[in-house]
Amino acid sequence: MTFELGMVLALLASAIIMFAIDKPRMDIVALLMLTLLPLTGVITMNDALRGFADANIVLIAALFVIGDGLVRTGVARSLGDWLSARAGSNETKLLVLLMLVVCGLGSTMSSTAVTAIFIPVVLRICQSTGTPPSRLMMPLSCAALISGMMTLVATAPNLVVNSELIRFAELHSTDSTGFRFFSFAPFGVPILICAIAYMYFARHWLPAGNSPASMTGSQRPTLAGWVEQYQLAAREQRVRITAASPLVGKTVEEVGLRNSASASLVAIERERSVLQPTSKTMLQAGDILLVDFYGPPTDSDALREKYVLDALPLTGIYFTDRAQEIGMIEVIIPADSELVGQSLLSSEFRSRTGLTAIGLRRGKSAVTEDLRNETLKIGDTLLIIGTWKAIRHLKSDGNLVIPLQLPTEYDDLLPAHGKAPQAVACLLLVIGLMVSGIVPNVQAALIGCLLMGLFRCITIETAYRCIDWKTLVLIVGMLPFSIALQNTGGVELAADGLMVVTDGLGPRGVLALLFLITAVLGMFISNTATAVLMAPVALAMAADMQASPYPFAMIVALAASTAFMTPVSSPVNTLVVTPGNYSFGDFVKVGVPLSIIVLVISVAMVPWLLPLYPTAGLPIPISP
């Protein structure tokens, strides 16, 4: 061992220790290594910064943006709603569909983001069916991790390994374009099927004591809860304008509901969208009106008869279902408010804010009669309804009211509601371009990002915010280790050592050992850093054995995604610890057998589909 190699290994060991104890942050450790490695003289500063020019770094950033577009437009949530509707209360069906949907979606976007999206979905399903969340949270995390075994772009380690594979081909003057988009799917699909079958039995090993209701988080109100608390069920009504109604063709101003029927028009449903009514809005046959009646019940009956309107059912669930268009907020009247001493009518509250006050609480009592003429006092609590845009504007105006509480549904509000078809079209175009190879993968992803911006699925501000810069810095900071170990002979030394250990085991034994080392190393440091370190070693072993590099690269990539064994192996596992009420031992108990299953499948299938010794040159990557 040379002195230069000793310095590189010392820095590598210190990085692994800091990764294991999680101090300082992983990206800070990567930056520290990027700065210190050139001081050893093994690599230049240009070598250390080479990762910033790597096309895979740009590709990973672009994929974060595309994934955020799927979240902002509601594509991911729609899959969750479909899952809930299809599975019902059947736990087995729910388990299967959950793992299929999560794995499918995770193959095109960040597995961490997919997990974060589906945790509240699973909690809602568990609450409605009485299923313990612990039975579904670990299957959720396992499916998210297995999604990294489905496509080239599903997870950062795949791209890191692919980059090393291409670099290896260039160093050895061989022709290689790396893996293709679906090269991982022939291994990922059987692994997913076996994982579903395994989790069907393993879920019974998990704790079942946590109540679904106890995992729903804070005690923030819901829209349905407010309907009950403010006694709105009898006042808020939905009516449909029939073809024979005299309202057809009239504007809201011409109808004058406030003066003629003691009612306020809150919203209009028209062709699956919700409109905020203005004085010039023209009413049409088939429009569904959400009306706030503040007069006696007989007035609402008379109104329906007078204007030939059909009554429609309205429950608290309606507001939950329409939470993307119609919102509520609870506000309190401060001492210096212009509303003090006035009524909602005299203060022209609706005209000034575009919102309707539909509830009033004074202390613990709800005021239900003649709400709009009630004199408002300091400390009164109003329940306001209207569009989210108007509610956001009200929050910025502290002269009238002070926002008190937003419902839990506000957290699920989609920033780009109604843009889901465009987002799906962009995603399909990106996948098509990647599969066909017409343009490089990074260019295909950038085209998708630009189109999502053009269709307003994303904004430039959210595009920058959604990129996980910590992951990018981690990859860029660890890549110089690969160059430094190659320059000092460290890669060859490690490969020779493993060759001695595996002597007599045969090719599959070598692949099994590589898988095992990569998976175990991933228990202590990030799987991305593991891929950076293990890919060059695996490829060097392939060169020593005069074998194809493809099966060695694939085994490292699959092992890097096999992060089931501890709650700190992956951020995906960490996310489900609290909602699933898991302990460290739960992950060991369920994750270790599953990891062994993945190892067996990988070692059995990789040499079969990617021959170690092809008959002519390098093997052709598995076709999409």
**Residues 97-116: pLDDT tens digits?**
999 999 998 888 778 778 87
Backbone angles phi, psi at 561, to 5 degrees: -90, -5
Nearest to 84 by CA among 67, 72, 101, 70: 101
Q: How far apart are CA 117 and CA 99, in angstroms?
A: 14
pLDDT band at 138 (very low <50, low <70, confident <90, very high): very high
Q: What is the mean pLDDT of the chain?
A: 83
Higher pLDDT: 344 or 514? It is 514
Q: How far apart are CA 89 and CA 436, in angstroms?
A: 41
Query: Does position 324 have pLDDT exceeding 80, yes or no?
Result: no
Q: What sign for the dihedral angle of Cα 599, 604, 608, 609? A: negative
pLDDT band at 201 (very low <50, low <70, confident <90, very high): very high
Structure tokens belonging to residue 408:
């839990």
For the chain, the straight-line distance linking the first and the last C-alpha, in angstroms and rounded, comes to: 44
Using a pLDDT cut of 90, give the percent of the chain over it.
25
Spatial neighbors of 588 by CB under 8 A, at least 6 apart, are 565, 566
Q: How far apart are CA 604 and CA 120, in angstroms?
A: 37
| Omega within 30 of 0 (cis) for the link into 190 | no
Distances (CA, A) of 92 to 99, 177, 201, 436, 597: 11, 42, 10, 37, 21
Whether the pTM exceeds 0.75: the reply is: no
Nearest to 66 by CA among 103, 27, 113: 113
Structure tokens belonging to residue 250:
């009239």
Query: What pLDDT does 601 receive?
Result: 96
Query: Residues 117, 71: contact at Cβ < 8 Å?
Result: yes
Mean pLDDT over 600-611 rounds to 94
Structure tokens belonging to residue 457:
């699925």
Spatial neighbors of 395 by CB under 8 A, at least 6 apart, are 329, 403
pLDDT band at 175 (very low <50, low <70, confident <90, very high): low
Q: How far apart are CA 213 and CA 218, in angstroms?
A: 11
Query: Does position 504 have pLDDT exceeding 80, yes or no?
Result: no
Query: What pLDDT does 500 receive?
Result: 83
Mean pLDDT over 8-17 rounds to 88
Query: What pLDDT does 215 receive?
Result: 47
